[in-house]
Each structure stands twice: as C-alpha cells, then as structure tokens.
Structure 1
C-alpha cells in the first residue's frame, strides 16, 4: 500500500506458539482468504467498476504508532472515531464509546470499573493495573476508576486491539485506548451547546473557545457540565437513581517557541459525583428446591423484602454516594533536530474518590461500606524518531513512571444492624482495611523498519521494562467512632464466620467455655502483611508488511505482552491459618495466597489486510488473531463479602475482525465492523465457585478437600461469539444555507456470560443497541434530536452474588448493573 510522508511502522516478535488450530481457523481463515481475493480483485478493477470514481472517502489520521499517519497505513487492528463523530453520536464516556466499536466491553461493578478487549480485561481489584491501557494525550491512565471519566472536546479516539507492549508499555496486554483531546486552533472559533433529555431530566452543557493570543501562541478553553436525575427508581427511599452531577474544565496552550520547537501544555480537572447506583436484584432462587428465597428470608425475619424482576426498580435503605475528582497536567515538547524529531511528554496525574456503598444491595441494614482511594502518578517519556522515507526508519525512547496509591474501606456494624440479632458481639464494631502501594518503573524501547523495496517492509521492535512495587495491608476490627483497632477476638471470629474476613484480631482458636485470653494461637494468623516485588520483562515484536499494490496491503505480526504482578487490597483472606502453631501441616501453608498475584504474559499472532477499493470510495480491512495468555490475573467473589485474586494458568483468545467504510453516495457514508471471538480457558483449575457448584478443582491447603472449581474449557465473561456494528452518516444540503444531517448507529452483540463467577444463570440474551441523530444545521446553528437505545433493550452488564445470600441463607441471589433504557434528547448548538 502506498505510504504517506508520515508512514508509521509497527513492531512484533516471532511466535512461541502454533498457529490457530484447524477446529477454529477453518471457517474464519477461509473467509479471510476469500475476502483477500475479493479485495485484490476489486482494487484492480476499481477504475472500471466505479463510474463515480471522483467520490473518495476522507482520510482518517491516527497516532496509533506514535507518528501521524493514515489509518489505512497502519498494519494493526485499529478502530478510530473522529471528534466530529464522537460529538454527533452523543458519546459522553467510555460506556457510550464501546457501543460504536466491536470487541470492546465496558461495565461497572460494585467495587470497580472494567474495560475488556477481545474478552481480556481486569477484574475487581483496586490493586490491578488495567489490561486495556488508556492513554490521553500520551499520558497513561491505568486505574479502574479513571475509565469513568467524562469525555469532552475530543479530536479522536483510537482502539488498538491485541498486546501493545512495545510502544505503549507493560500493561497494555489486551489493547490500548489512545485518546486525543482537541488542540488550540490558529483561527478564532468557539461553540456552546446544550441538550435536554426528556425521560430522565438530563441536562448537558458544553462550551469551547479557541484561537491565537499572539502570532506564536494559541489557547483553547473547554468546559462541560451534566446533571441527570437517574433512570432507576429506589422504591424503598422513593427516589430516582443514580443521580449524576459532572463537571470538567480544560485549558490547553500551544506555543511555537522557536523555528524548531513547539511546546504544549494542558491542565484539566474533572469531577463526577453520583447518588445511588444502577444496581438491582435480578435473580433470587433457593439452592435447595422448596426452601425459601432470599426475599422470603428477609420477610420471615421482619426485614424489607426485595423485588428480583429486571424492571429498573431497586430497594436499598442507604443513600449511596460517590464523589470522584481527577487532576491532570500534561507538558509536551517537540523539537526538530534537522530531519529528526525529539519528543518529550511529562505528566502529573492525581485522582481520588470517596464512596458509600449499600453493598448488601437490599433494604435491610446489613452491609454499608465506605471506600476511599487516592492515587498520585508522575510519568516522563522521551523519544527520538528518524525521518520517514529512508531505507531504514527508526524510533527509540525511554520511559519513567512512579505512583503512590492509598486505599481504605470500612464496614460499620452499628447498633440496630440486622446482623446484631444473631451476632450481638458485632454491635458497634467495624471491619477496616488499609492498603498502601508504591511503584517505580522505567523502560527502554526501540523499533526499526527496513523498507527492503517498494513492496516489502520489515519492522523489529522491543521494550525492556523494570518495575519495583512495595505494598502493605492490614485488616482490623475497629471502633467505628474512632476507626481505632479493638482487641476483641470474639467479634473477630464473628466477622470470620459471617464475612470470611481474616482480621488482625483473629489470631486464636476459639474454645468453648474458655476465656479468650487463653485461646491457643493459630499459625499464619492475623492480617497485617507486606510485600515487595522486583520484575523485569523483555517484549519483542516482529511485523512483516507486503504492499500488494497501491491500494492493498497485507501484514503478519508476532508480538508479546506483559502485565506486572502486584498486591491485592480486596481479599479478606491472606491465605490459610487453620493449623495450630508449630504443626507440620501449618508450616506448609501459604500465608499470603490471596495477597500477591503474579505477572501475566501473552504471545500473539496476527494476520491482516487493509484495502482501499473503488478508487478510494470504499475500505475493507480484516485481521485474524491468535493470542495465548499465561497466568492471566483474575479476581472472583469469595462467597462472603470479598474477592480473591489469583492467576489462570493458560487462556486462548482467537478470532476474526472485519471493518471498513463505504461512500455509498456523495451524501451517505457507511461504516461497519464485524468481530468473531473464540475464548477458552485452557488451564484454569483454581477458580472460585458459584453458589451450588460442585467443587472439582484443586486442594489448596492439603486437607484432601477440593477448594476450587475447574473452569478449564469454559468461556470467560464478556466474550460474545460475535459483535456487529453499522453506522450510516447522511448529509444533504437544503435551501437557505441549511443542511439535513442524520446519523444511525447499530450494534448487535451475541449471547454472553456476565456473572463474575460464571454462573450459568448469568448468561444474557443477544441484544441490539440503536442510536439516531436527526437534525438541521447551518454555518452557525444546529438543532437535532438524539436517541440512544431506541429499541429499549434491557441489558445486564454485570452480575454478582449478593453478599451473605449464599453463605448465610443458602440462596443464589444476583445483583446486577443494568444499562440505561431508551433516551431521547433535544440538542442546540451555536458556533461563532
């Protein structure tokens, strides 16, 4: 394929695993070969078969490989959406964005936010870096809560699928979201827009002003505000939830400081607060036929009952809150040294949040959890790029990052709590978790492309990373009024029995009719632990590209990925302390089994083609991929009130992705994407069981009793067989300077599993999301109606078991996050 002057290479490495097995590869590979033949044939006949050959698609520019280049020149599986499309589709955040891209999934859970690409992501743990790396203007946003940040005034959003370790770093093992905000303009411009959603009283206001303040300096100021009454009814508190208030302010300055030097500075603050959650109980059945459900037990015990129908109604008795604040400062310097380009990007990122969660998810007073997290990150990247168009082109750089993370959660059991009826020793006590983690990492990376001739381009690249992590965690029984530890082993064992929480005070073997001061000590007891990790990784990559002709390119890449290990704050169990002190069996137990998790790695193979057809009027791209993940980091519900971390030994992900555009007429553009996904746990015997599941995994503590469930051979969560996307963008000039604009978006997603522990009842049916924007616009004014989820699909995006429902009431009861139903908004925008 003909390269633009800003041609950007890609990188990879030779595979260590075999090509896809015939079981999977036969049909997709045959389909891919057929499309390849069709693509070349159409390209060769383009001038003949396209009578309107003057029609050409607009070029999409991306920075997926850290140089400016055409999307069609990137030998990787990449999707991109321009800022104009983001605005027209009403995309407010990543949840909205995933509706417009195949093979990416977004969800919130009770304790976390997750993004997955090709079925791979990070589970519930504040200790995990994310498998899908998010980068905004080159700065890494690696914590789960940052995925919830609002999007405003964007230039472009890019999704790179598959491991991206060489250019983007150690944790982008499933893919990378490369987001670019709008830059200051050379001409004065501005806009103000407002929208009003009819059904749920949602207001959104956006404003932007940009332009030069001198011959060499340009400034852009953007602001956003949103208010939303919520789309669920809390029938117990008689209020609509989740109510949202969001605000964001961004100032960016672009300065041509010299003939060869450009400086860019951005300061941004985002705040997003909610009251209530989009959670309701959606399934409630006894584990033994004929026994009461969870709702029945609550009524028997004179507690408010629950409704387990999916009907956008919930019953919780606590006014839940979540306050979130993000501050970012980005500084970028571009300096031309002759034909070479030197780039330095410095970033300072801080976020913190405070949440109150009614984490029993029912109206009884059982489990209120206060959560707090503070995260400070500093990063620096410096890279040097050679000029393009040479026989050998290269890019090399160095990266540094450090961060400090503090996480605290606290459960208070006050007088009158439902649990004190059966466990009065818990009254006016609490369970508090304090977790601190620090990390320092640096990396060297480089790549070089050999343009052997006009057709063949071979790229080699590698990244070497070193990281040191230190963490500590303590779990204490505390006095809620002071948050100070209590020396109360009796209460500690009540928490161990009900919550499966191994606290610092649970150090003894409880003996009936014996004073607690005389209880024998347990081996490996307590919960005050710390650890240190020092890891390194070498992640090479090889990419071979063949330009079939001026409009078609084929490529093969072999790449690796790495995600660092670490420490988990969310587990309530540190390991095993079931043996008396000094016994042989106790010495063999692992006291930190659920505190530390190991690094994960990936080996990936990708074959693809990119084709420009019909003299630039159409595009047809596809990629066939096969990725093996080793020691995939997982976190699953423990059956009490916590999550346990671990590693799944081997996971296979393979599939086919097809995407492209077609300029149907001068006024109508179609965009499409198809994803076929095959996901299989090849070796995962240490999974947490769902309620009622027969344990068939491994014996972890040597007592000849199986402790886990074997998920080998199963699919994971959020792994639909297929996803199909279609977008139709219509533009028609009318009289008097007005234009008719219409944008129709469709996404169909196959059946998939959304239960964190893979309970078969967590399968959801296929669904179709439909959005439509219909409006009129002139040079300065536009007015439109924007509809989302117009088919009013009821979509469950996450399910887990209500805490204590299994362990205390022997029921299988789900709480679920449910996506927003149909919305219709009226928009007005004024440009100046």
Structure 2
C-alpha cells in the first residue's frame, strides 16, 4: 500500500462533525431572513434553484473557487465526491462515478466539459486553468439531452464571470512558500456605453515544482501559465443581447511530477532494472516514494488554447431564442522522458493540433405554463493532427543490449482524424398539477468520422526505412508494428515472404447515429421537499486510436496465422448506457438546512478502454458490460449566523460484468486462471479476464466535510475562514489494475483564515495539511518488462502540503 492514512485529529473530527457538501457558498452563506442563500444553476439550460433540479448536481461558486485557491480540475476534485482527475505521462483523465476515458489522443472524453456552452471534449483541454469563474456545476450520470455530446458519464458545466453594470476591479496575489508558487489575477469590469459592457481578466502563475530531480539537480515540474480573457456584453434593445468572449491560455512545464515507485525482477534471483543499468555503466535510479526523480531528458510541455464564443439571445412572445457559436483550438508540443529514468532509453516527442467549430440553436418556452419546453439543433466539426516520434541514438542504452540495429533511427507516428456531427434535441415538462410534473426528452445524434495512421521507421535524415531487420527489432523491443515489418523474418519456409495484414498504414471511416430518450417524474411531497425518479440513456461515438503500437494480432507471430481483424487495435466501438435514478431534495428547519439523496444505477455496454501493452504503447478496445450503482448524500446547514456546515457522502459500487479481454498486468501474464489469450505464442498471456473486478479510480466511499465561518471584528473588518476535509477510500490507480496500484484511503485537509474589509482582504491558505502522499496514477515502466525482465512501476504523486499567503485589493 503506497499512501499513508493518518487519522483526522480528534479535535478536528469533533469540529466538523458530520458536515460537508457538494454545494458551496461564500463564508456568509445566509440570506437576510436567516435561511440558507439560494444557489442558482443552469444545468437544465435555465436559471433554477439547485434544490429544484431533478438530477444529482453539485455547484461551486466563483467566490469559493477563489477563496479555496482552486486553479484547475485537479484542485476541484478535492471538494467534490465521485469525481477524479489525473494526468499520466502523455494524457489527462477525468472520471465521474468511476467512468471516464483512458490514455488515447483519439478519445473524446466520457465526461463532457462545457465552458459557456462550448464543448471541451479532448483530454488536453481538461488542463485548462480556471480564472475569474462565476460557477462550476458537476452533473453526475448520463447527460444526453441538453448536453449530449458524448457526456455519458456526466458533465462539467463551467460559467465564466460576466461584465457588470457598475465599474469594478480586483487584483489578487498569492505566494506559496515551500514550492515558490506565485499567482496574480486581475479583473476590470464595467460599462463602456449605455448598452455595452466589458470585462477583462488576466492571470499569471509560476512555480518551481514539488519534485527534485537528483540527476539534473533541479526542481520539477517548473511551471509558467498565462491567460487572458475579454468579454463584451451588448444589449442594443430590451429583447436582444450579444455576449462575445475571446480567451487565450498558455501553459508551459519543464519536467513532470513522476517517479519510479517499484523495481523488482520478474524471476527469482534476477536483477532489478536499476541493477541492470548499473551493470551497463548507465546512471541508476531509486525506487522510493520520496518526491525525488531521476530523468536525463530536458522534458517540457508547451500548450496553447484559444476560444472565441458568441452567444446571442433574442426574446419574443415570452420565448427565448439562443445561438451559441464557438471556435475552439489547441496545440501542444511535448518531450517526454518516457523511460522515467536517468538513462537514455525512450525519449518521446509529441505534437498535436486541434480545431473545432460548433453551433447550437435553442428555443425556450416561458415558465409557468402547463407545458414548458426547450428544443434545439446542434452542429460540430473538428480536425485533429497528432504525431509522435521516438529517436534512438547510437548512445541509447538499447543499442548495448542486442538492439544495435535500431541505432540512429526513430519510430514516427502520424495520425489524422476529422469528424462532423449534428443533433436535434428537445425536452418538455408537463405540469400535471401544482405538485406533480413529468418531463420527456430525446436527442437524435448523427456523427461521421474518418481517420488515418501510419507508423514508419525513419533514418537519421528523416527518410523511411524498409529494412525488415530494423522493423522486427522494433517489434521485439517496443511491441511496435511498422511499415518496415512487412516481410516474414521468422525462421522457416516463409522466411523473406510478404506478410498478410502486416505493416502499419491504415485508414477507416465510421458513420453512426443514436436516439437517446429521457423520462423524469417529479412530485412535491411538501413545498420544501422534492421527490424525483428518472430514466435516461447515453451514447458516446466510437472512433480511432493513434496510440496503439499494434494494428491487430501481428500476422507473423500469431499462432492462429493471419489476424481475423487487422484493425483490432485501431478502431473502437461506441459506448451506450442505460441509467435510472431516484432522489429527494428537501429543506429543513425553516430553510436553515438541506438534505439531498440520490440512488442511481447505470449499465454501460462497450465501455471504451485503453490499457498499457507491456512495451511502450496502449491498446484500445471495449469492455462488454459494466455496472455502476450507488448512493450520494449532500447538503448544507446554517448552524448559527455566520457559521455554515456542509456535508457530502457517496458510496460507489463498480463492477465489470463482462470484460474478458483486458490487457494482463505483469502479475498475470503467467496466470492461467485469468489469462484468456496468448496472442504471440510465447507462453505469456496478453489478454486477461477482468469480469467481476472494480475498475481504476473507483473508491467505495468518498466523504466531504466542511465549515465556513464569518464574523465581524470591527465595523469595517470581518474575520472569515473555512475548513474542508475529504476522505477517499482505498482504490486502484494502475492503468492495468496491477496490485502495486492499490492505494490506501487518504484524507485531504484544507484550511483558510483571513481578514476582509470593504475593499481588501488578506489570508493564509493551506492545502493537504496532513501531508498525505497520494498516488494519482501508476503504470508499468515502459520497456522494463519487454527488454529487462523486471516488474518496474512509475507513478504520478499529488502535491504535498502547501501554505500560501494571499491578498486582494478591490476598486
């Protein structure tokens, strides 16, 4: 077990009692009449009270985001149950209720993220820093009707702050001492003319990093981020409004928060990976969990994201017509020291460019009628280019272990994908009586995709190599099929003959559609108590994968002869889901308390999976059937004037009910009880049975507890503070469910204390104050098993304890 589990101190446990939530307010979270302040959300494309929305939804206000120092999705997950975020060496993942998308630049995410109505569906976009936000909403379970685009696990609905009618400005600065983090946020907002308002927000962030690279003697990951946003709000008439937003984000890192955590030989008496490096006179590494790493390459990741969003709203006859037009693009360049050691073995350069256009048109009926409805059309297209290249120099360690044939060559992958999708959707609520309502919705989606991928071996001049010796050397070392491996190189009668279904140059098209209905029944048991039950379905389109190094079951080594499906590792099928939920939302003690409970079950078919292949790639596929069910409880309580408690508890039951074709981890490759296929005939199992197992990132329970406190000290100075605790049950964070990835339960504690005046505030913010060591991702060390006969693992470790000093000036 690789995470410490200290007990919450007794005084702290007594202080927070059973308090916490998924719905956050600022510290003074009460209205003038002594009730809890109402939280307004737009999860149903209308402004509604959170307590009136018949789904499991959580909201975090912009004030809470700022006060808690929530800078990105990674920070946000510490405040909300049943959502997990992690970055791997080459990808980013978000999961809701254990459902998400794995490592692959070909995946659109099962958790849909929407910023001001624009779909952010690619993994790299989840790294977008948060600044000057109005609200973040977390919608759990399939959101197929109003959000739709692949949001089969749930949706994150983010709203940025809008221009104000009065002139205002704010500058906030913070400094964290241990890792030298500096952040500056500035906002100016107000009217330019009688009908035109503007808001400008800028952000800069720098830090040295919380890892120390002992090989290069530098802190990592050194980070620099810059962001700028301008929003214009123009209302030429009382019925017509335009909101134009333009935003650019740049974030750069040097190094990664990754270290080797385990290094053992696969056979008794054998050498570890580090020992083998020492015998080869190469730099060695340590495998202790200590926030220290050894990497020799000058790793970096340079990212740029731009977005232009135009929202047009026109009111007529009490109806509202809305147009949301968006242009979104990103590109990044990375160098990954993907052997994660100080020896020169596997340096991977990655490049990606993505351009997306989308248009949504909605018409919304007035409220208060017998039938209230919303309908619309959606269109989106995108173009994506992805490339990676791993160069093996003459000094590479692999050339000293029998692989000299690949010296001064590189494996070069080029992937292109395009998509065009449209949908029509509608949702109508029938107000049967004052207390009984029924909602019916449906969405029809059509999507066409096409993609191509080629994997060449290049010489030092960048020209393709057709030498089968080199091609098969890459195959044995990297489990990598290429255009150079098209001739049978195995001893026998077929030596030198062309191979059927060989090489790695492939293209394909997909054309798929889906109809996803929704039914919700609501009943106001009392004026303050809502009961609801819902049934819905979900759909996520299939697609193509760039990251697999294998096209299919390689023809020359498969004991069954030529593969039956030569695109097995290139194409994956669509996901579908059937979900049911019942819940209650109620106000207690004359509005001073809330209790929300939801019971849910979702059955998924063909969940899209990407798993490590044991060499240097990831194979995609589909898990036949998966069941997710559980209970979520949350609420707030106004204990006294100025003191608000919050509570949130979730229990998650996750099971692969039919998944016989998972990639085996290193503890399973010789286990006949779980092995289902030996694809290359070497006696080791490549495919194993995952049926009956929990998935990655599926803790059985998550508990969030919190208190917000506010009290005047003088007529002009207030004392404000909050305390937040999250405890997460132990779970597996290894991409192939290796036992090394089983982490213990952990507890995250955040605390802020400060003083506020009318135009200023100062405070101290501490995060992870119990200094928990928490693994957020683990995987096999690339090439360690296939080339060095070791079971070596690396991991990404979350940030240790930090304490920051903050100050804000308003004008």
1:19-30 correspondence to structure 2 within 5 Å: none
Match of 1:689 among 653, 659, 664: 664
In the other structure, the counterpart of 2:676 is 698
Q: Is the 8 A contact 1:477 1:488 kept in 2?
A: no
State TM-score, norm by structure 1: 0.92
In the other structure, the counterpart of 2:428 is 448
How far residue 53 of structure 1 moved from its aligned partner, in angstroms, is: 11
Deviations 1:205-237 (A, max 9, x none): 000000001111110000000010000000000
How far residue 54 of structure 1 moved from its aligned partner, in angstroms, is: 4.4
1:136-147 correspondence to structure 2 within 5 Å: 136-147=115-126
**Does residue 828 of the first structure (1) align with residue 807 of the second (2)?**
yes
Q: Is the 8 A contact 1:687 1:697 kept in 2?
A: no
In the other structure, the counterpart of 1:668 is 643
C-alpha separation in 2, matches of 1:268 and 1:477: 39
In the other structure, the counterpart of 2:451 is 471
Q: Is the 8 A contact 2:521 2:532 kept in 1?
A: yes
**Does residue 354 of the first structure (1) align with residue 329 of the second (2)?**
no
State the SS of the aligned residue for 2:399.
helix
In the other structure, the counterpart of 2:585 is 610
1:315-394 correspondence to structure 2 within 5 Å: 315-394=294-373
Deviations 1:234-258 (A, max 9, x none): 0000000000000000000001021
Q: Is the 8 A contact 2:581 2:601 kept in 1?
A: yes
Instruction: Report which of the two has the higher share of helix.
Output: 1
Question: Does the C-alpha gap of structure 1 residues 452 and 821 become closer, same or farther in structure 2, counting only changes over 3 Å?
Answer: same
C-alpha separation in 1, matches of 2:793 and 2:676: 26
How far residue 511 of structure 1 moved from its aligned partner, in angstroms, is: 5.2
Deviations 1:359-388 (A, max 9, x none): 000010000000000000000000101111
Match of 1:58 among 21, 34, 37: 37
Q: Is the 8 A contact 1:392 1:450 kept in 2?
A: yes
C-alpha separation in 1, matches of 2:111 and 2:490: 49
Match of 1:235 among 209, 214, 225: 214
Q: Is the 8 A contact 1:523 1:586 kept in 2?
A: no
Q: Once structures 1 and 2 are overlaid, which stretch shifts more, 431-440 or 277-286? A: 277-286
C-alpha separation in 2, matches of 1:352 and 1:274: 14
Q: Is the 8 A contact 1:523 1:577 kept in 2?
A: no
**Does residue 97 of the first structure (1) align with residue 76 of the second (2)?**
yes
In the other structure, the counterpart of 2:630 is 655
In the other structure, the counterpart of 2:167 is 188
In the other structure, the counterpart of 2:27 is none
Q: Is the 8 A contact 2:119 2:149 kept in 1?
A: no
How far residue 490 of structure 1 moved from its aligned partner, in angstroms, is: 1.4
**Does residue 519 of the first structure (1) align with residue 519 of the second (2)?**
no
Deviations 1:152-201 (A, max 9, x none): 00000000000001111131000000000000000000000111100011
State the SS of the aligned residue for 2:689.
coil
C-alpha separation in 1, matches of 2:560 and 2:750: 61
In the other structure, the counterpart of 2:177 is 198
How far residue 577 of structure 1 moved from its aligned partner, in angstroms, is: 3.4
How far residue 510 of structure 1 moved from its aligned partner, in angstroms, is: 1.3
Q: Is the 8 A contact 1:255 1:263 kept in 2?
A: yes
In the other structure, the counterpart of 2:565 is 590
C-alpha separation in 2, matches of 1:100 and 1:528: 45
Root mean square deviation of aligned Cα:
1.7
In the other structure, the counterpart of 2:52 is 73
C-alpha separation in 2, matches of 1:190 and 1:645: 49
Question: Does the C-alpha gap of structure 1 residues 98 and 500 become closer, same or farther in structure 2, counting only changes over 3 Å?
Answer: same
Q: Is the 8 A contact 1:522 1:577 kept in 2?
A: no
In the other structure, the counterpart of 1:8 is none
**Does residue 546 of the first structure (1) align with residue 523 of the second (2)?**
yes
Q: Any stretches of 5+ residues in structure 2 without a counterpart?
A: 1-30
Question: Does the C-alpha gap of structure 1 residues 736 and 454 become closer, same or farther in structure 2, counting only changes over 3 Å?
Answer: closer
C-alpha separation in 1, matches of 2:646 and 2:234: 36
Q: Is the 8 A contact 2:252 2:302 kept in 1?
A: yes
1:32-181 correspondence to structure 2 within 5 Å: 54-181=33-160
Q: Once structures 1 and 2 are overlaid, which stretch shifts more, 281-290 or 606-615? A: 281-290
How far residue 332 of structure 1 moved from its aligned partner, in angstroms, is: 0.3
C-alpha separation in 2, matches of 1:153 and 1:454: 39
Question: Does the C-alpha gap of structure 1 residues 85 and 588 become closer, same or farther in structure 2, counting only changes over 3 Å?
Answer: closer
How far residue 319 of structure 1 moved from its aligned partner, in angstroms, is: 1.4
In the other structure, the counterpart of 2:728 is 749
Q: Is the 8 A contact 2:382 2:418 kept in 1?
A: yes
Match of 2:539 among 562, 575, 579: 562
State the SS of the aligned residue for 2:536.
strand
C-alpha separation in 1, matches of 2:110 and 2:694: 18
Q: Is the 8 A contact 2:555 2:563 kept in 1?
A: no
C-alpha separation in 1, matches of 2:110 and 2:298: 33
How far residue 596 of structure 1 moved from its aligned partner, in angstroms, is: 0.1
Q: Is the 8 A contact 1:577 1:589 kept in 2?
A: no
In the other structure, the counterpart of 1:623 is 598
In the other structure, the counterpart of 1:264 is 243
Match of 1:678 among 653, 663, 668: 653
**Does residue 773 of the first structure (1) align with residue 752 of the second (2)?**
yes
Q: Is the 8 A contact 1:752 1:766 kept in 2?
A: yes
In the other structure, the counterpart of 1:713 is 692
In the other structure, the counterpart of 1:414 is 393
State the SS of the aligned residue for 1:298.
helix
State the SS of the aligned residue for 1:592.
coil
How far residue 111 of structure 1 moved from its aligned partner, in angstroms, is: 1.3
**Does residue 641 of the first structure (1) align with residue 619 of the second (2)?**
no
**Does residue 458 of the first structure (1) align with residue 477 of the second (2)?**
no
In the other structure, the counterpart of 1:783 is 762
Match of 1:434 among 407, 414, 439: 414
Q: Once structures 1 and 2 are overlaid, which stretch shifts more, 471-480 or 175-184? A: 471-480
In the other structure, the counterpart of 2:780 is 801
How far residue 259 of structure 1 moved from its aligned partner, in angstroms, is: 2.0
Question: Does the C-alpha gap of structure 1 residues 733 and 590 become closer, same or farther in structure 2, counting only changes over 3 Å?
Answer: same
C-alpha separation in 2, matches of 1:104 and 1:226: 25
Provide the aligned length of Structure 1 versus Structure 2.
776
How far residue 592 of structure 1 moved from its aligned partner, in angstroms, is: 0.8
1:503-518 correspondence to structure 2 within 5 Å: 503-510=482-489
C-alpha separation in 2, matches of 1:824 and 1:707: 46
**Does residue 530 of the first structure (1) align with residue 518 of the second (2)?**
no
**Does residue 727 of the first structure (1) align with residue 727 of the second (2)?**
no
